[in-house]
């Protein structure tokens, strides 16, 4: 390797280390960034696959521990689904793209020519290898801090998804609950083989609800499902609000409901209280006491009175 190449590599590694927040032993970082295609084309160099294996376990441990502590009431099955929504190639690739990790990977000419720097599988594997390198060089505490910084937003986002913890499953559950039918996806593709772009449209009951684009068919379908889920969910919430308002209005045609939900009586035509007297319980009425006339009153007194 020429001196200029060594300088360029050192500079790029420093840039990546700045994004990671850790300075790593040079040979370890180089190995973490070495894809097997590059290793095979350059005499069988060590690849990043062992570090990927280690980083996968570190990532899984930190994410599992976080989910266990932040969701104390979730059963094992739901925790497993949450973890699967975070620790998968598509999610890891998005985190890798945020670090612009593809620009640092050492790739063979074949992978380079087919868009390997943006392939989800290569980005995900390399990110796990980098996590493994941080663990070996800095320890579990540093690796855990890195995982939290990179993945906590994704963990929070995944916690808000449906039971399946991906947009396609969430959309299918929502359309079933709304009686709309099973979603279908119409996918088209453009671009050369090594740089294709996929566009997906989500349709439910013959109605188009959302579209999405991505570097893979799965990614495009997930984006389309998310768009459709949000649109159908918003429409369902609007219908529920309208139904609640209509029910409240029909329950109180002549007045407004009070704080406890009761409707006040309408006033009489004269503006005062109603004229209907209250019912009287006959048994509650007592006979008036008889009055005894004074004995000193005579008949003549009565006559004169």
- CA dist 264 and 257 (Å) reads 7
Beta strands in the chain (DSSP E): 184-190, 197-204, 207-214
Active site residue 128: yes
Q: What is the DSSP letter of 259?
A: T
Choice among 56, 111, 125, 226 that is catalytic: 56
DSSP symbols for 164-204? TSSHHHHHHHHHHHTT----EEEEEEES-GGG-EEEEEEEE
CB atoms within 10 A of CB 35: 24
Q: What is the DSSP letter of 20?
A: H
Read off the tokens for 67: 């989910």
Nearest to 31 by CA among 41, 11, 17, 46: 46
Q: What is the DSSP letter of 283?
A: G
Active site residue 56: yes
Task: Answer whether 212's CB lies under 8 Å from 227's CB.
Answer: yes
Task: Answer whether 209's CB lies under 8 Å from 186's CB.
Answer: no
Choice among 128, 166, 219, 221 that is catalytic: 128
- CA dist 74 and 100 (Å) reads 35
Which residues form the catalytic set? Answer: 56, 128
């Amino acid at each position: 390797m020429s001196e200029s190449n060594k300088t360029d590599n050192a500079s790029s590694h420093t840039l990546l280390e700045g994004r990671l927040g850790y300075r790593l032993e040079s040979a370890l970082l180089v190995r973490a960034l070495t894809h097997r295609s590059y290793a095979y084309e350059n005499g069988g160099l060590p690849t990043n696959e062992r570090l990927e294996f280690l980083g996968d376990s570190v990532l899984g441990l930190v994410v599992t521990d976080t989910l266990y502590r932040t969701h104390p009431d979730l059963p094992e099955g739901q925790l497993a689904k949450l973890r699967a929504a975070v620790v998968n190639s598509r999610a890891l690739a998005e985190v890798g793209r945020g670090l612009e990790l593809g620009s640092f990977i050492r790739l063979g000419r074949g992978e380079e020519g087919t868009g390997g720097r943006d392939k989800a599988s290569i980005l995900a594997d390399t990110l796990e290898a980098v996590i493994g390198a941080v663990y070996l060089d800095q320890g579990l505490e540093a690796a855990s801090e890195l995982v939290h910084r990179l993945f906590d937003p994704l963990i929070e986002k995944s916690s808000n998804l449906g039971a399946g913890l991906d947009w396609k499953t969430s959309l299918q559950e929502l359309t079933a609950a709304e009686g709309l039918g099973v979603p279908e996806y119409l996918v088209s593709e453009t671009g050369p083989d090594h740089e294709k772009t996929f566009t997906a449209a989500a349709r439910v009951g013959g109605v188009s609800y959302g579209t999405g684009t991505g570097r893979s068919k799965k990614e495009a379908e997930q984006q389309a499902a998310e768009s459709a889920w949000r649109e159908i969910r918003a429409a369902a919430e609007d219908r529920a609000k309208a139904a609640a308002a209509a029910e409240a209005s029909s329950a109180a045609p002549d007045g407004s409901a009070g704080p406890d939900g009761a409707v006040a009586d309408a006033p009489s035509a004269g503006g005062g209280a109603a004229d209907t007297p209250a019912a009287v319980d006959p048994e509650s009425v007592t006979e008036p006491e008889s009055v005894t006339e004074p004995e000193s009153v005579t008949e003549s007194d009565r006559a004169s009175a």
